[in-house]
Structure 1
Amino acid sequence: MTAADTEAAAPPADSEPPPPTGRKSGRPKGGGRATARTGGALLPYLLIGPAIVAIAAIFAWPLVQTVIMSFQDMGRRELWTGDSPPWVGFEQFSTILGDSHFWSVTFKTVLFMVVCVSLTMSLGLLIAMSMQRMSPWVRLLLTGALIAAWSMPLLVATSVFRWLSDSDYGVINSTLSRIPGLDFQGHNWFLNPWQGFTIIGAVVIWGAIPFVVITLYAALTQVPKELEEAAKLDGANSWGVFHHVVFPVIKPVFQMVATLSVIWDFNIFGQVFLMRGNKPEPEYELLGIYSFQKAFTSSSFSQGTAIALITVLLLSGVAAYYLRQLLKTGEVE
């Protein structure tokens, strides 16, 4: 090669060298990965964003309006004319909390809730444990019956129980009258509030048991059979196996179901309202009925919303406990 050929092949002195091979110029290394990671982190929030907006529109806005109304004095005139009701501060709350009837209704609500939840969880656990010893086809039939009872509308269920407890044509009265020494013909169960709440409690428990049974049975299927057999070999009886082996495994599910039952039974409204023909007597007032009566019967809408808000505050501790159990379950898993 001659000197002229060498000079022709050499690049000009002022030209820039080509970029290194194997690397794209003008883009930082790893930029695509960082963008993908950022998009992946935001994707879950983008997916649940519409649901959060819908929940806020359905629940958050009415709750805000309830809080505002509880500090006002809205009556029938403000409701129909659209005038702004006057602000009264904490007057509604002081009036309610100073009323002995409110505390009587609260005690009645708590007592009713405790009885219903205790019986629901006890009967539900017994039925769920019995399902483990049933043949597959019997268990399938029972599961179908539970789902059918669970899906029955509240109006239909209360109508059935009103017919069962009817004073003239009720099955309960005619069945009890067949027992020697008992005469329940024409007996009205709702003249005595204790007997009336027994019928209402039966409606509540009957509607809640299917969910409890199905959920607890699913939890019982997760108990390792090896642990039960080992406990029996060590000399544990049936109660010992349940107490030391079975219940610790299903305890998180049991607690969450019981907490949900507390929330549901504390807010009972439809069963009482429908069983008493849409006109509950004062003896059958629970907090939900009491709030409704104050708002729509006495036309004291602000007092009704204040009672509803107090009910929410009373249940906030139970809701916090439920969320805590959910978080603990997630940590264990």
Structure 2
Amino acid sequence: MTDLRTREAAPPSRPDRVVSTARERSRRRRDGGSALTLLGPSLIILGVMVGYPAVLMLVQSFTDYSIRNKVQGTLPGFVGIENYLEVFTQSDFPAVLVRSLGLMVAMTILIVGLGALIAVLMTRLRRGMRILVSLGLLLAWAMPPLAATTVWGWIFDSQYGIVNWALNTAMGTDAWTNHSWLANPWSFFFVLTVIVVWQGIPFAAFTLYAALGQVPAEVLEASSLDGAVGWQRFRLVVFPYLRNVVTVVVVLQVIWNLRIFTQVYALQQRGGLISETNVLGTYIFRQGPGEFGVTSAIGVLMVVLLLTLSWGYIRTTLKEEEL
């Protein structure tokens, strides 16, 4: 009996373990092959559309590649970090970078803050009013940036703009007649901020409104019984459930607001001072004609900046996937 029990309780023999391990390895190889097969087309498209241009831009940033090489069919020379030094010492890039970062911070705060307020407001509205607010947000979100800039350009027009008329009417004066909002860089950026924020709020509002719907009702009821109201309730009870969503919205807004181009370019065409209103997108577009090496260096710096600003979110996401 003792021998039988010992034999029954004994662990599996070594050959059984080897067979089990071999089966697991085979299954993992099949799963890996299936995953690569499914991801293959997407990886190829990413490699052609993103990988190759990124590598080419990085290589060109260390050369003196210009329109001359393209016309003559000659190879560019290797200049090391000379283009990067030129960008920071012999160009307007530092001023444009500071200007773009300042605009990005202001626009992101306004978009996320106002979007959160509208999202909370939508939770308090009745169904009919909520649908009406949603339609208004959708119309603003669906309008192409160029069309939106054109409309807002008419609103702030120096001769026919409703803003100048409203200010003259409210103040009982003609001081705002023929006032140009785009001639001064500060008022130019004010108009630009209005346009970008107006179109950016719908995304933040809809995303945060959907996240608010995931907050458990029993948690809100318990917080009310504990006496939490207003800002205290939002900060201590609701916001922890929204933290991940808010992080995503902030990171996306940072990236989008650093890459604005259409609105700035369209406003500059309507009378803005180009040299004092350039942001990173328009600055790269208007960089010396044919100076591909310097332009590539600016592009590499912009990519590094975006990756640095979004690294916190990427690291948090990777940690959550490992748990």
**Same topology, TM > 0.5:** yes
Q: Is 1:326 equivalent to 2:307 in the alignment?
A: no
1:186 aligns with: 178
Q: Secondary structure at the match of 2:124?
A: coil
Matches within 5 A, 1:301-312: 301-312=292-303
Distance 2:192 2:296 in 1: 25
Checking the alignment, whether the CA contact within 8 Å between 1:295 and 1:302 is kept in structure 2 is no
- Identify which range, 98-107 or 168-177, moves more after superposition: 98-107
8 Å Cα contact 2:145-2:263 kept in structure 1: yes
Q: Taking structure 1 as reference, are residues 225 and 329 closer, same or farther at Cα in structure 2, changes over 3 Å only? A: farther
Shift of 1:35: 5.2
CA-to-partner distance for each residue in 1:275-302, whole Å, 9 max, x for gaps? 1118861010112222222143xx3221
Unaligned 5+ runs, structure 2: 1-17
Q: Residue 74 of structure 1: SS of its match in structure 2?
A: coil
Matched residues, number: 303
2:76 and 2:35 map into 1 onto residues whose CA distance is: 43
- Structure 1 vs Structure 2 CA RMSD: 2.2
Q: 2:213 aligns with which of 215, 221, 237?
A: 221
**Cα deviation, residue 37, structure 1:** 5.5
Contact between 1:272 and 1:280, CA under 8 Å: does it hold in 2? Answer: no
State the AA in 1 paired with 2:265. F
Greater share of residues in helix: 2
Find 1:293's aligned residue among 263, 272, 286. Answer: 286
Query: TM-score, with normalisation over the residues of structure 2?
Result: 0.87
Rounded to whole Å, the distance in 2 between the matches of 1:205 and 1:281 is 21
1:281 aligns with 2:274: yes
Partner of 1:108: 99
Moved over 4 A (4+): 28-37, 328-332
Structure 2 residue aligned with 1:195:
187
Alpha carbons of structure 1 residues 193 and 214: separation in structure 2 relative to 1, 3 Å:
same
Q: Which has the higher contact order (CA 8 A, sep 6+)?
A: 2
Return the alpha-carbon distance in structure 2 between the equivalents of residues 191 and 274 of structure 1.
Answer: 14
The corresponding residue for 2:133 is 142
Query: Once structures 1 and 2 are overlaid, which stretch shifts more, 138-147 or 118-127?
Result: 138-147
Cα pair distance change 1:243/1:80, threshold 3 Å: same
| Cα distance in 2 between the residues matched to 1:199 and 1:276 | 11
For the pair 1:118 / 2:109, whether they are aligned, the reply is yes
Secondary structure in 2 matching 1:179: helix
- Letter matched to residue 115 of structure 2: G
2:185–2:273 CA contact under 8 A, matched in 1 = no
2:37 match: 46
Larger Rg belongs to:
1
Partner of 1:11: none
Q: How far apart are 1:181 and its partner, in Å?
A: 4.6
Look up the match of 1:258.
250
Residue 246 of structure 1: CA displacement? 0.5
Query: Structure 2: how far apart are the matches of 1:230 and 1:220?
Result: 16
Gaps of 5+ in 1: 1-27
Letter in 2 for 1:275: L
Q: Identity across aligned pairs (percent)?
A: 35
Does 1:67 pair with 2:58?
Answer: yes
Q: Deviations over 1:195-239 (max 9, x none)?
A: 000101111111211111111111110111211221121122211
